[in-house]
A and B are shown apart, each in its own frame.
Chain A
Amino acid sequence: MSWKLFMLLVKASGLTLVISGVSILIGLALGFVICAGLLSGTRGLNRAAELFVSFFRGVPLLVQLLLIYHLMPALGINVSSTTAAIVGLSLCTAAYQAENLRAGFGAVPRGLLEAADMCGFSHFQTFRRIRAPIALRLTLPAIINEAVLLLKASSLVSVVGIVELTRMAQDLASSTYRPIPIFASAGLLYFIICAIVAGIGALYERRQKWARR
């Protein structure tokens, strides 16, 4: 495999990193909102959040992307390939992140909440100083897991016309008929990108390490 082909894969992996990086951040922010809905006492909000999670976790990302790409223009909103890809990935990952966060909030020791209550913390103070930080720390590995999963799932955005790393590898394999070295290189590049994302997460995790007793 020539250097030139490898550099084409490197370039395509840049696109993979950008598209999934943006989607990870949007998805995480949206995940918080959905999680708030899941934990909300208001029945309507609760139902809406549950439906969101159910739909975006349940329906294959491939189908979601095709829906966004083919349906939106019919409703008068012209989505570019890039927009369709980012919207599709963000919505899908938000559903998973919301579930992760919900689990974290559920696992916050009750004693701590009772203690905060007794110390006279307001509802908001308890949330900001006790529940949110502890839940985040508890779920950080799962959140990073999901971020890396999204990075890899981003290969599906080729169905809306984006030539990211996997698609580039398929294209190159189909003109050189030497798929094994090309897919092995693509695997290596994915590994590097995932290491970058996981590394950022691990750095944060270390900084936030829960003081364990």
Chain B
Amino acid sequence: MSFDLSIIWQNLPDILAGFWTTCWLWAVSTAGGIVLGFLVAVARRYGGRLIASVLGVYVAIMRGTPFLVQIFLLYYGGPFIGISLTETPTGLIGLVIYGAAYFSEVFRAGFEAVPVGHIEAAECVGLTRWQTVRRILLPEMALLVLPPSVNIAVILIKETAVLSTITVPELTMVTSVIGSQYYAFVEALTLLALFYWFLVEVTGRAGRWAEAKLSRYRFAN
């Protein structure tokens, strides 16, 4: 078996289209997941017992079951209970609510790592709850929250591959089709490795850059 670059070259438009689909699905769902995850974490902390326990169940289910199973049930099972969306919206919604559960846990851990004294002090000087979140909790936990958030963003990159099971034409789908059509398994695998590695590496570097920027917020207690 040889390494046949011409197969990649011939199919480059399809491959790049698949890569682009993966990229935007990932970027949109990561952004959505962070926002929703943050709201969930704040709601669990300040929303009262009922909201906290309902959201706790949501987070537990999302974290406790594989994305593959969730997306399968949502897409193929959804129509039986009246939810019939096409593949891309299903995939996007699925990724956001899946990612949000993980991001919310990261924020929860971040909140908890902020010394209670700092929060009490904020209350004493009369900051509102939102001001406390924005001015005390967020900056103080940012450094702790960043690396696991990068980890989750990386996980979401790879979860986009699962969307091939609901016929979304993303990178894994496109390359595996090319791989089996031309029996170019090595080429397809290498391509997959390189594209995903590139995305992960860019994300990791962006994360480390942000970490360096944020390290001035490191608190000493």
- A residues sitting closer than 8 Å to B (CB atoms) are 54-55, 57-63, 66, 96, 99-100, 102-103, 106-107, 109-111, 138, 141-142, 145-146, 148-149, 152, 155, 166, 169, 179-180, 183-184, 186-187, 190-191, 194-195, 198, 212-213
Interface residue SS majority, chain B: helix
Q: Which residues of A contact B218 (CB under 8 A)?
A: 107, 109-110
Query: Can you name 18 A-B residue pairings with CB atoms under 8 Å?
Result: A55-B197, A57-B154, A60-B192, A61-B158, A62-B192, A63-B189, A99-B147, A100-B147, A107-B143, A107-B218, A109-B221, A141-B105, A145-B148, A152-B65, A180-B73, A195-B60, A198-B64, A213-B117
Please tell me if B113 contacts chain A, counting CB pairs below 8 Å: yes
A212 touches B116 (CB 8 A): yes
Query: Ordered nearest first, which 6 A-B pairs have the shortest CB separation?
Result: A103-B147, A58-B197, A194-B64, A111-B220, A58-B200, A141-B109
Q: What is the 8 Å Cβ interface bit string for chain B, positions 3-16, against chain A (1 contact, 0 not)? A: 00000000000000
A183 touches B69 (CB 8 A): yes
Q: Which residues of B contact A60 (CB under 8 A)?
A: 158, 161, 172, 192-193, 196
- Contacts of B47-74 to chain A: CB distance below 8 A: 60-61, 63-70, 72-73
Q: Which residues of A contact B197 (CB under 8 A)?
A: 54-55, 58-59
Please tell me if B80 contacts chain A, counting CB pairs below 8 Å: yes
Query: CA–CA, A169 to B68, complex, Å?
Result: 12
Query: CA–CA, A22 to B203, complex, Å?
Result: 29
Distance (whole angstroms) from the CB of B84 to the closest CB of chain A: 14
Q: What is the 8 Å Cβ interface bit string for chain B, positions 107-148, against chain A (1 contact, 0 not)? A: 011000101110000000000000000000000000110111
Query: CA–CA, A202 to B77, complex, Å?
Result: 33
Q: Which residues of B contact A55 (CB under 8 A)?
A: 197
Q: Which residues of A contact B64 (CB under 8 A)?
A: 148, 190-191, 194-195, 198
B side interface size, CB within 8 A: 51
Q: What is the 8 Å Cβ interface bit string for chain B, positions 137-176, against chain A (1 contact, 0 not)? A: 0000001101110110011001001000000000010000
Query: CA–CA, A12 to B117, complex, Å?
Result: 48
A63 touches B192 (CB 8 A): yes
Query: CA–CA, A57 to B66, complex, Å?
Result: 19
Residue of chain B at shortest CB distance from A111: B220
Distance (whole angstroms) from the CB of A98 to the closest CB of chain B: 11
A190 touches B66 (CB 8 A): yes
Query: CA–CA, A95 to B66, complex, Å?
Result: 20
A54 touches B204 (CB 8 A): yes
Query: Are A141 and B108 CB-contacts (below 8 A) given A59-B197, A180-B76, A212-B115?
Result: yes
Distance (whole angstroms) from the CB of B30 to the closest CB of chain A: 16
B204 touches A57 (CB 8 A): yes
Residue in B63, B68, B105, B148 whose beta carbon sits within 8 Å of that of A194 in the complex = B63
Q: Which residues of B contact A141 (CB under 8 A)?
A: 105-106, 108-109
Distance (whole angstroms) from the CB of A91 to the closest CB of chain B: 14
Q: Which residues of A contact B70 (CB under 8 A)?
A: 187
B148 touches A59 (CB 8 A): no
Given contacts A58-B200, A103-B147, A145-B148, 15 further A-B contacts (CB under 8 A): A59-B193, A60-B172, A60-B196, A99-B151, A103-B146, A107-B218, A110-B220, A141-B108, A145-B105, A166-B66, A184-B77, A187-B69, A187-B70, A190-B66, A191-B61
Distance (whole angstroms) from the CB of B34 to the closest CB of chain A: 15
Please tell me if B219 contacts chain A, counting CB pairs below 8 Å: yes
Q: Which residues of A contact B148 (CB under 8 A)?
A: 100, 103, 142, 145
Please tell me if B102 contacts chain A, counting CB pairs below 8 Å: yes
Residue of chain B at shortest CB distance from A191: B64
Query: CA–CA, A184 to B67, complex, Å?
Result: 12
